[in-house]
Structure 1
Amino acid sequence: MVSTFPNPASVDLSRVRLAIRSLQPQLVEWRRQLHQKPELGFQEKLTAEFVSSKLQEWGIEHQTDIAQTGIVATITGEKPPTSHSALSTQPSPHPSLREATPTGTPRANSPQKVLAIRADMDALPIQELNEVPYCSQHDGVMHACGHDGHTAIALGTAYYLQQHRQDFSGTVKIIFQPAEEGPGGAKPMIEAGVLKNPNVDAIIGLHLWNNLPLGTVGVRSGALMAAVELFDCTILGKGGHGAIPHQTVDSVVVAAQVVTALQTIVARNVNPIDSAVVTVGSLHAGTAHNVIADTATMKGTVRYFNPAFQGFFKQRIEQTIAGICQSHGAKYDFKYWELYPPVINDVAIAQLVRSVVEEVIETPIGIVPECQTMGGEDMSFFLQEVPGCYFFLGSANPEKDLAYPHHHPRFDFDETALAMGVEIFVRCVEKFFNHDYQKLSS
């Protein structure tokens, strides 16, 4: 299938409107400035200051310091609405959102519709190995997942919409979110009220994706990304001499049986039609050749698409550990965290995005409909609250040596994707407020 992907050098940007194509140099400049100053989750102070300064320069009303470093910008269109939709009137619990409603922005009882666009801002604890002029200036921190590009695309979208308010009739809320990589900024922003006042009707977001080449977009209804759950387990045995095992409870033997048994949970408990993963990524025990270890520790992760599995793996993994430990006379300490639910796209909004991509990208394979990954994303929390669509924007270009995977110290992407991302977002805004997405889903 990879051989049928288009040559990135042949990608035609003629369907990106001239006003957005003219923004490309600025998009690249913003992205590279952000790339040079990467910051970890909830530490994005310089990034937030950069975003806020641009929004202020363009006269876009926005609130800062939401969930520590998050920002929400609000832009209201001037085109008369073709119809109305009722919105709920719950007030925002975040003081800044309650106190400052942007000029021209409808209050919570406004009949205008509201579309949110989400972009994440944080970087990763990785030492960059790229030799480029815009290399990270922060030791041990790097934008190795494309969030600098997401922020630049969101800024470009905000700038264009502010300059072309006559082309849409509703309200757009652009959410600049901290800490997607961890510990998670989406939920705190939701709790702070970013989807309220005015109430958001739908949300969209994108992820630059080096698993797809430039000129392709991965968009689908239903599950796109998996739930993310983690577990730690310490096997508590009884150490002793390696030559006298009968005096011990061998934590290594117990741990080895646990690791093997955990693989049967998916193989024999999950419908083969469903997808799930149980991975033990770390196992440590012992210090010497002839010593039976007192303890063995393991760490692992669980991934699945079907929300019905929430709670199942936690229970089944502990049952498996407990049974094996009991049979060997060992004890255990077990901890489990449910981090992010699966990313589930709404049928109607996914079809809206798909129709827009067909207009923007003209290549042999523009849309990759079955693009899924067991990777996780806290965009899922937004999608639990309102219908929406998260999609992958292809950004790899092997010919330019821009195809390293995400979270790699040499990750980088083809910046041509930046203008394409802005164009897709802008057209989604225009089409959403024209109610075309409702026809698409019928």
Structure 2
Amino acid sequence: MAEDINPQVIEWRHHLHQYPELSNREYKTAEYVAKFLQGLGLEVQTGIAKTGVVAILDSGKPGPTVALRADMDGLPVPEQNDLPWKSTQRGEFNGNEVPVMHACGHDTHMAMLMGAAKILTAKRDELRGKVKFIFQPAEEGAPAGEKGGAEVMVKEGVLKNPDVDVIFGLHISANTDVGKVRYREGGTMAAVDPFKVVIKGKQAHGAYPWLSVDPITTAAQVIMGLQTIVSRELKLIDDAAVITIGSIHGGNRSNIIPNEVELVGTIRTLNQASRDHIYEALPRKVKGIADSMRAQAEVTLPLDYNYPITFNDPALMSKMLPTLHRTVGEENALYSKAVTGAEDFSFFQEKVPGLYLWVGGKPLDVPASQAPAHHTPEFYVDDSGMITGVKLLTNLTLDYMQYGE
């Protein structure tokens, strides 16, 4: 059935790619998806978390509720691929007009889920329970001053009525061969915890530093000191962790030591113990260094948002691994290392067991070293990778309904 509808899946992908929309602005995308789902005869809800679309397939028989999720938003990136279905769309991002592109494959995610919805609807008689198709806005992050994405969908009850028992999600991968799927149990993508440190000192002439309490020198020591949390306090043989300072602001002249310096950074962790440790250690380290320099420090952690760990339930992974093997062949199911990127699919997994898998989108004749990166103008994944995703979403649902509950 996946082979039969593959031309349609490709057609849907091309349309969605050609007309991308930014986070919390997926109005036409949502309309396109909702119209398709209504055409399948499904119960469709719109306007969830602003532009989200949810459809329910009820088999009429008792059984679990399986949720399948795809994200919908594009990115403020100018497409440089020479494709007949290239995006030339424009949008507004934080007050500026910007080009818009599906530079992370969300167009393929929607098309794959639409394909799974079409097959599962046709196989309604073989189902037990219900399937909830979740098309989520704003995975890439809501515009400044707004909320969005999976966190808002959960707060608005997307996992309720009917109560979801398990959730599956896929992400296309530009550096994984078409036909392959990557998986792991436990922490698979990192928690995200942005933070801000404001170091306050005493201003003085740069020629007379002994009259100052220098926040710049203090900030330099804080930046280096924070790295020792990862290198000397965490058990890195278990999981990786990252503390990165991405922004420094302080001072305005070469010969003035300023009153204060602001640091903004991000924390990435793959297990809760490391996350908890850094939450304790970062303020301790900052305060200790600031005290030693006679400065004061204020720490805001988390800063304005945070994501949990994208955590693949180990028991669920064990149950569904035979489905992966059956769908793609055992040799094409690749056990993967965790990555320190993040996904707000984690908000669903906080509430119900879930699996998040990577599906290959790299053409076989392109070396991995030459595959364009996600979030770049050259990003490209091949249409031929989507059939694997359609099969996986369908088989995971059917198999869980039969033996996974």
What TM-score comes out, normalization by structure 2 length? Answer: 0.89
**Displacement of 1:175:** 0.8
The separation in 2 between residues aligned to 1:47 and 1:167, in whole angstroms, is: 30
User: Would the aligned equivalents of 2:63 and 2:130 in 1 still touch at CA under 8 Å?
Assistant: yes
**Secondary structure of 2:399's match?**
helix
What is the CA deviation profile of residues 381-411 of structure 1, one whole-angstrom value per residue up to 9, with x for unaligned ones? 2112111211111212373588211112221
**Displacement of 1:303:** 1.0
**Displacement of 1:167:** 2.8
**Displacement of 1:244:** 2.0
**Secondary structure of 1:394's match?**
strand
**Displacement of 1:133:** 2.5
User: Would the aligned equivalents of 2:43 and 2:55 in 1 still touch at CA under 8 Å?
Assistant: yes
Range with greater deviation from structure 2 (180-189 or 253-262): 180-189
Q: 1:353 to 1:147 in 2, by over 3 A?
A: farther
Q: Which residue of 1 aligns with 2:145?
A: none
Q: Which residue of 1 aligns with 2:71?
A: 120
**Displacement of 1:74:** 0.9
Q: 1:143 to 1:355 in 2, by over 3 A?
A: same
Amino acid across the alignment from 1:179: A
Q: Which residue of 1 aligns with 2:225?
A: 261
Q: How many residues align?
A: 387
Task: List runs of 5+ in structure 2 lacking aligned partners.
Answer: 91-97, 143-147
Residue number among 34, 37, 40 corresponding to 1:58 in the alignment: 40
Q: Which residue of 1 aligns with 2:93?
A: none
Q: 1:311 to 1:349 in 2, by over 3 A?
A: closer
Q: Which residue of 1 aligns with 2:268?
A: 303
Q: Which residue of 2 aligns with 1:168?
A: 127
User: Would the aligned equivalents of 2:212 and 2:257 in 1 still touch at CA under 8 Å?
Assistant: yes
Alignment of 1:185 with 2:146, yes or no, is no
Q: Which residue of 2 aligns with 1:40?
A: 22
Q: Which residue of 2 aligns with 1:328?
A: 293
Task: List runs of 5+ in structure 1 lacking aligned partners.
Answer: 1-18, 78-103
What is the CA deviation profile of residues 326-360 of structure 1, one whole-angstrom value per residue up to 9, with x for unaligned ones? 22222233322261111111233223442222122
Q: 1:289 to 1:399 in 2, by over 3 A?
A: farther
Q: Which residue of 2 aligns with 1:24?
A: 6
Residue number among 422, 425, 432 corresponding to 2:390 in the alignment: 422
Range with greater deviation from structure 2 (231-240 or 117-126): 231-240
Q: Which residue of 2 aligns with 1:397?
A: 363
The separation in 1 between residues aligned to 2:39 and 2:236, in whole angstroms, is: 54
The separation in 1 between residues aligned to 2:309 and 2:33, in whole angstroms, is: 29
**Displacement of 1:373:** 0.7
**Displacement of 1:115:** 0.8
User: Would the aligned equivalents of 1:112 and 1:171 in 2 still touch at CA under 8 Å?
Assistant: yes
Q: Which residue of 2 aligns with 1:9?
A: none
User: Would the aligned equivalents of 1:23 and 1:419 in 2 still touch at CA under 8 Å?
Assistant: no
Range with greater deviation from structure 2 (318-327 or 415-424): 318-327
Q: 1:398 to 1:126 in 2, by over 3 A?
A: farther
The separation in 2 between residues aligned to 1:230 and 1:192, in whole angstroms, is: 24
What is the CA deviation profile of residues 84-107 of structure 1, one whole-angstrom value per residue up to 9, with x for unaligned ones? xxxxxxxxxxxxxxxxxxxx5x7x
Amino acid across the alignment from 1:134: W
Q: Which residue of 2 aligns with 1:358?
A: 325
The separation in 2 between residues aligned to 1:262 and 1:387, in whole angstroms, is: 34
Q: Percent of pairs identical after alignment?
A: 41
* 1:208-247 equivalences in 2 (<5 Å): 208-247=172-211
The separation in 2 between residues aligned to 1:23 and 1:352, in whole angstroms, is: 28
Q: Which residue of 2 aligns with 1:248?
A: 212
The separation in 1 between residues aligned to 2:153 and 2:185, in whole angstroms, is: 25
Q: 1:129 to 1:335 in 2, by over 3 A?
A: farther
Q: What is the root-mean-square deviation in Å for CA atoms of aligned residues?
A: 2.1
The separation in 2 between residues aligned to 1:129 and 1:233, in whole angstroms, is: 38
What is the CA deviation profile of residues 227-285 of structure 1, one whole-angstrom value per residue up to 9, with x for unaligned ones? 11111223223333332222222222111100000001112221233321111122233
User: Would the aligned equivalents of 1:219 and 1:353 in 2 still touch at CA under 8 Å?
Assistant: no
**Secondary structure of 1:399's match?**
coil
The separation in 1 between residues aligned to 2:395 and 2:354, in whole angstroms, is: 15
User: Would the aligned equivalents of 1:233 and 1:333 in 2 still touch at CA under 8 Å?
Assistant: yes
**Secondary structure of 1:277's match?**
strand
Amino acid across the alignment from 1:117: L
